[in-house]
Amino acid sequence: MSRGRHLDLSPPSDLRLRLHFTFTSPRVQCVQADCASVEDHREECTSSSSVMAAISNSNTDFACKLFRTLSQKDPSGNIFVSPLSISSALAMVYLGAKGDTATQMAKLEKKLTRANLEEWTKRDMLSLLDDPEVHVHLPKFKLEEDYKLNDPLAKLGMTYVFWAGKADLSGMNGDKKLFLSRVAHKAFVEVNEVGTEAAAATATDDSDMDLSMVSVEHFTADHPFLFFIRHNKTKSILFLGSLNTQMSCQTAPMKVLVTGGSGLVGKAIQHVVKEEGGAREGEEWIFLSSKDANLMIKEETQAVFEKHRPTHVIHLAAMVGGLFKNMRCNLDFWRNNVYINDNVLQAAHEVDVVKVVSCLSTCIFPDKTTYPIDETMIHNGPPHESNFGYAYAKRMIDVYNRAHLEQHGKYYTAVIPTNVFGPHDNFSIEDGHVLPGLIHKAYIAQKEGKPLVVWGSGTPRRQFINSLDLARLFLWVLRDYPEVDPIILSVGEEDEVTIKEAADAVVQGLNFKGEVVFDTSKADGQFKKTASNAKLRRYLPDFTFTPFNQALKETCDWFVANYDSARK
């Protein structure tokens, strides 16, 4: 090993620095992260330690490769991982893997050899040292690190296990729908006057462990260094880390570029970031509008990405419209949105964006389907004929994201909101969506003393989500959602309303006193698109949506106050 930023797996003779190993004998505790005490846990650990040690014995180099991947991502940051915890968890998954998933995991396992580390860390290596007595000046320090490992594991060749519909873990429970949504790892180490304490998510035997340090004759840890903790009986590396600073590593602030930043959702994200304190310290947010670049033109898209070089992207830009505009211009919706999406996602890749969150729509789901629809059903059949151009263009983002993960190992993902409404919407009567169109119609009818004419029968059903609620969820997805598979962002099925009920809410929101008439000569469009938010609730069970009538009243008030400047 060397003192540099990256782990060097070449033999010791290839290194310019001589290696010296100092074996200390402090109190080393390796316990479950939530255990009350070592004594309480020792008996429980003993029964499983031999199994866990056997697993880690064959997979130690896996942690070395993971360590290198993590250090390349953040060369100056501290790193601390537990091979025992990671490899035992993956081994449990491997036992239940079948088909291509098992084949892929087996290929990864075959690449993992631990000969180098095993050879370097034998106690008889001490006989090769000129002077076995080494003075180590080690500072007190504590490392506490947690990682989302989906991306690093994908880069190491393990991708199928994370894909709904692709993963085959039927060996676990017989259900081929089972897949891994995320792999999370947390570990800490503390060195003080008493000794060394280390913990990770998986428990191991705490006996016969050594803290091994890379050092020269006088090793003063006043510069970055690597260290590991080994279990001597099994020669398993239990913990592996690097200390680059005395403080715990902090994630570098994000530089977020938002395409479509002047639209309905973009304005809502601006409000949450700037007015609600949604931005974190050091973050930079850039909101693009069509004035900054024509994203249908490749060169302009590349130029704006090169100019800002974001680390993260929220992709909202799209050619959008209501039911009747879609029915008139399906080809335009297809071509223009395909251009925009391909240009944005490719430009993001070229400047090495860490994560892209794109915005889809529930119109991408098949017309003929069972309800409620969920994220696994996107490609199960053709969408409704009324807006198939827009729907297929949006579907292709999911195809791009999956292929991008497979080829480049990056987690670009997407969200699927239901019908969004709120301030800064497009309130065009001809081309807008149903709620803003109804608000504008009712406003004019109120002014002119005429009936409010609602197109269609009023029977179709929709789930509506307030744009500010959606903005708050977008920030969560950007920061914490770990999957490449899209996620539906929606109120619950029980909050679905008919178009008639939506029109009644508009009437109440504007205090409209006139007659309401339904023009059944106009098409209804798709009858319903009832979406399940079960996946969202698994992640955020306590998220509170703004009540529909309250959010609609606030939107009506905004439209009246901003009538002259509102899009319409």
Beta-bridge mates of residue 452 = 516
Q: Please give the single-letter amino acid code of residue 343.
A: N
Q: Are 420 and 467 in contact (CB under 8 A)?
A: yes
Most confident of 48-57, 113-122, 158-167, 408-417: 408-417
317 confidence band (pLDDT: 50, 70, 90): very high
Q: Are 226 and 244 in contact (CB under 8 A)?
A: no
pLDDT the model gives residue 430: 80
DSSP 258: E
Cβ neighbours of 346 (radius 10 Å): 15
* Comparison of pLDDT for 213 and 168, the residue scoring more: 168
Q: What is the DSSP string of 432-457?
A: S-HHHHHHHHHHHHHHHT-PEEEES-
pLDDT the model gives residue 311: 95
Residues belonging to the active site: 390
pLDDT the model gives residue 160: 79
Please give the Cα distance from 355 to 112 (Å, whole number): 28
499 confidence band (pLDDT: 50, 70, 90): very high
pLDDT the model gives residue 108: 59
pLDDT the model gives residue 184: 75
Please say if the pLDDT value at position 504 is more than 50: yes
Please give the Cα distance from 494 to 504 (Å, whole number): 18
Question: Which of 103-107, 136-140, 495-499 shows the lowest mean pLDDT across its residues?
Answer: 136-140
Mean pLDDT for 75-79 is 64
Radius of gyration of the chain (CA): 28
Question: Which of 50-54, 146-150, 336-340, 526-530 shows the lowest mean pLDDT across its residues?
Answer: 50-54
Please say if the pLDDT value at position 200 is more than 70: no
Residue 15 has which token pair?
Answer: 């290194």
pLDDT the model gives residue 339: 96
Model confidence over 201-232: pLDDT tens digits?
432 222 333 333 333 345 555 556 666 676 66
pLDDT-above-70 percentage for the chain: 64
Question: HEC profile for 147-195?
Answer: EECHHHHHHCCCCHHHCCCCCCCHHHHCCCCCCCCCCEEEEEEEECCCE
DSSP 78: -
Most confident of 5-14, 83-92, 98-107, 136-145: 98-107
Start-to-end C-alpha separation, the chain:
65
496 confidence band (pLDDT: 50, 70, 90): very high
Mean pLDDT for 520-530 is 85
The mean predicted confidence, pLDDT, of the chain is 76
Domains of the chain by start residue, with CATH: 26-243 (3.30.497), 255-561 (3.40.50.720)
- The candidate with the shortest Cα–Cα distance to 189, out of 228, 215, 224, is 228
* Comparison of pLDDT for 281 and 498, the residue scoring more: 498
pLDDT the model gives residue 74: 62
185 confidence band (pLDDT: 50, 70, 90): confident
Pairing of strands 255-259, 284-287: parallel
